[in-house]
């Protein structure tokens, strides 16, 4: 794979990779440009669709949904729109039932008009219906456009369910450039979070001998470094820069399709986001934008790893702490911290055994044997927390948990317990194995209070 390849070069073209696998994606088309919505009838005619089901909420209908319906009407294409009511769309069981009830049984293409939540719902709904789906993006605040997993709210817990990748994606920069500033900064924040997530993958390869693909890591790294280079110009709403962010978010989704899971795009910074969102939903709050929480989580992880690198860990103390692990005490704490969602977290632990003593001891041995290599990975592959803060400040975007409504306790608990939302090994997992999470978390909380 050459670094000069563009997004279009990866679509619908399986390739044999140096990692030993054949990568492919079912995403066949991406159009990101001024006036891109006019390409919708061309896609429909190309694939011979006859009866479209358009899903949007009240806001996205006003931004693009009505225009989509008019474009389709002018082209003589049959389409029905479902508009979800309310201030904020939540992709939960109620919304799924509503979408199902209103659908024509003979619809042959579902089109999501919107961003993350609408996209996730349509991804799952269309998969269950056995028909393809496509996206007309109204903003670029997150990286889930091209993934095959649907992040839904089930029993007040954010859960990723296997579904399908869209057939095509349209990002009209005339629309994207008009998105609210908070959504633009959220998209950038989600992309910049790839620095920590990719390092999670690198570290897990060293510690656990996890499958790892250099080609995919290089693909995502090239993308985020290009965006990082232009990050100071995002506030100008230059169509090229906004288009590059949209394409970058799509490309990271393609990377997920290549691997078959979210490893190339989601790590400990996303786990902090999931932790916070779980509690927001339990409390009946409208969640802060996903990408915004990822950006804040990324700053916290970067600062945490900076503190971690200051001193070589005491590996013997880590082993003693691992041996003292008390499953009952852990479950009691999870019930306290996660509330109504605790049962899902505990069930995951019973299945994955990620905190089991022998496994932890084996990982501690591997971390000690490769500590200098791990430090070099953290030094060479991630920006500083200060640089991330500088970028987010330039957009007047949040960079501290307190700026999005999360107090010291919620930050502290995220650093200790967000890793429990997934079985995936991350830098937070490594810090827990080393028995240093509590000390590092206290330092980060102190740093946040100094910055506030």
Break the chain into its structural domains and give their ranges: 7-179, 186-451
User: What gap in Å lies between CA 414 and CA 174, rounded to an integer?
Assistant: 38
371: its two tokens: 């500590």
Q: Has domain 186-451 been given CATH number 1.20.1090.10? A: yes
CA torsion, points 293, 294, 300, 304, in degrees to nearest 10? 150
Query: 171, 207 in Cβ contact below 8 A?
Result: no
Helix and strand numbers, DSSP H then E, in the chain: 21, 10
- Measured between its terminal Cα atoms, the distance across the chain in Å is 45
66: its two tokens: 């009505």
In sign, the C-alpha dihedral spanning 422, 189, 119, 98 is: positive
235: its two tokens: 């506030």
When pLDDT is cut at 50, 70 and 90, the band that residue 241 belongs to is: confident
| Digit-coded pLDDT (tens) for 124-176 | 999 999 999 999 999 998 888 988 888 888 887 778 898 999 999 999 999 99
Residue 136 φ then ψ, to 5°? -115, 105
Q: Has domain 7-179 been given CATH number 3.40.50.1970? A: yes
b/e string for 116-142 if b means 16 or more Cβ within 10 A?
A: bbbbbbbbbbbbebebbbbbbbbbbbb
When pLDDT is cut at 50, 70 and 90, the band that residue 5 belongs to is: very low
| Digit-coded pLDDT (tens) for 97-134 | 999 999 999 999 999 999 888 999 999 999 999 999 99
| Digit-coded pLDDT (tens) for 360-417 | 999 999 999 999 999 999 999 999 999 999 999 999 999 999 999 999 999 999 999 9
Please state the pTM of the whole predicted model.
0.86
Query: 120, 150 in Cβ contact below 8 A?
Result: yes
DSSP letter for 65, please: I
């Amino acid at each position: 794979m050459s670094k000069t390849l563009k997004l279009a070069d990866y679509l619908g073209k399986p390739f044999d990779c140096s990692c030993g696998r054949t990568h492919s994606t079912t995403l066949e088309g991406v159009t990101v440009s001024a006036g891109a919505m006019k390409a919708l009838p061309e896609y429909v005619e190309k694939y011979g669709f006859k009866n479209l089901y358009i899903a949007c909420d009240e806001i996205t209908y006003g931004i693009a949904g009505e225009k989509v319906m008019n474009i389709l009407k002018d082209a003589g294409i049959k389409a029905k729109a479902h508009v979800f009511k309310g201030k904020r769309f939540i992709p939960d069981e109620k919304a799924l039932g509503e979408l199902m009830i209103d659908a024509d049984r003979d619809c042959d293409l579902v089109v999501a008009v919107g961003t993350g939540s609408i996209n996730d719902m349509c991804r799952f709904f269309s998969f269950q219906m056995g028909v393809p789906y496509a996206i007309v993006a109204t903003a670029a605040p997150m990286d889930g456009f091209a993934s095959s997993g649907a992040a839904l709210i089930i029993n007040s817990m954010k859960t990723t369910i296997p579904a399908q990748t869209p057939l095509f994606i349209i990002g009209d920069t005339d629309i994207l450039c008009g998105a609210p500033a908070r959504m633009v900064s959220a998209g950038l924040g989600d992309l910049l979070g790839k620095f920590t997530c990719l390092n999670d993958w690198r570290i897990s390869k060293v510690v656990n001998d996890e499958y790892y693909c250099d080609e995919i890591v290089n693909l995502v790294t090239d993308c985020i470094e290009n965006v990082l280079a232009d990050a100071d110009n995002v506030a100008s709403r230059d169509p090229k820069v906004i288009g590059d962010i949209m394409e970058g978010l799509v490309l990271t989704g393609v990377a997920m399709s290549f691997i078959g899971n979210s490893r190339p795009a989601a790590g400990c910074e996303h786990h902090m986001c999931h932790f916070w969102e779980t509690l927001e939903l339990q409390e009946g709050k409208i969640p802060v934008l996903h990408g915004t929480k990822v950006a804040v989580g990324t700053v916290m992880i970067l600062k945490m790893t900076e503190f971690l690198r200051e001193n070589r860990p005491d590996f013997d103390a880590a082993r003693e702490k691992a041996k003292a692990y008390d499953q009952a005490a852990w479950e009691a704490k999870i019930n306290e911290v996660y509330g109504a969602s605790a049962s899902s977290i505990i069930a995951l632990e019973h299945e994955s055994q990620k905190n089991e003593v022998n496994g932890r001891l084996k990982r501690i041995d591997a971390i000690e044997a490769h500590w200098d290599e791990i430090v070099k990975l953290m030094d060479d592959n991630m920006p500083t927390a200060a640089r991330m803060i500088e970028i987010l400040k330039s957009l007047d975007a949040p960079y501290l948990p307190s700026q999005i409504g999360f107090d010291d306790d919620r930050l502290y608990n995220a650093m200790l317990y967000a890793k429990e939302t997934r079985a995936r090994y991350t830098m937070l997992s490594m810090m827990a194995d080393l028995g240093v999470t509590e000390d590092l978390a206290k330092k980060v909380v102190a740093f946040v209070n100094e910055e506030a």
